[in-house]
Chains A and B, each alone.
Chain A
């Protein structure tokens, strides 16, 4: 595909369940980012990958959040024992290069997660 693809588009889960959100970045993009966007807020950084290496996970709100990108392409964000405050849109973005170059980030449509 031409852009960043995220699935599912919508996810409803009961409190306490585990969820997994998938991101398929643009082919060849080295950098991959996850953001969390609560209602009425701007996106907030969660974590960053350069190829398969998770270089920054300072934004993950708790140890219930886990992200991986084992082969340096597709990434999965997993949330364990979900809580109501986890309800948000989860955005994935990818960019061509890494580090200081500050290549534009290309965003997916996001996954809207609702915890009941």
Chain B
């Protein structure tokens, strides 16, 4: 079964602390992995995707196929990072549908 697991509903850190939002997936093939973010009163938007191997707003995520994980990391959290973060998987078949995790709310305190 295709599934994305985000074990933490809420992650609270102080400004300047490192952040790691966990994501594990279950899929038998070679999926594409994404992180989407939803800031307060804004729509869901793409943060980054594993095939790009880029850093966006200081965030990075590395696909670990052995551990079936795609954790999102940032060395120094900022208050403006406070948001809801969703990990998502695309089966990369003939549709681009996304399978989302339940999301992790990140709170960064001053």
Contacts and interface: CB of A to CB of B under 8 A. Distances in A.
Interface of A: 3-4, 31, 33, 35, 40-45, 48, 55-56, 59, 91, 95, 98-110
Interface residues of B, number: 23
A104 B43 contact: no
Given A48-B97, A95-B96, A104-B49, A41 B102 contact: yes
A45 B4 CA distance: 13
15 contacts: A31-B96, A33-B98, A35-B100, A41-B102, A42-B86, A42-B103, A43-B44, A43-B100, A48-B97, A59-B97, A99-B96, A100-B92, A102-B92, A102-B96, A105-B46
* A-B CB proximity, top 6 nearest: A42-B100, A107-B44, A45-B97, A104-B46, A56-B95, A48-B95
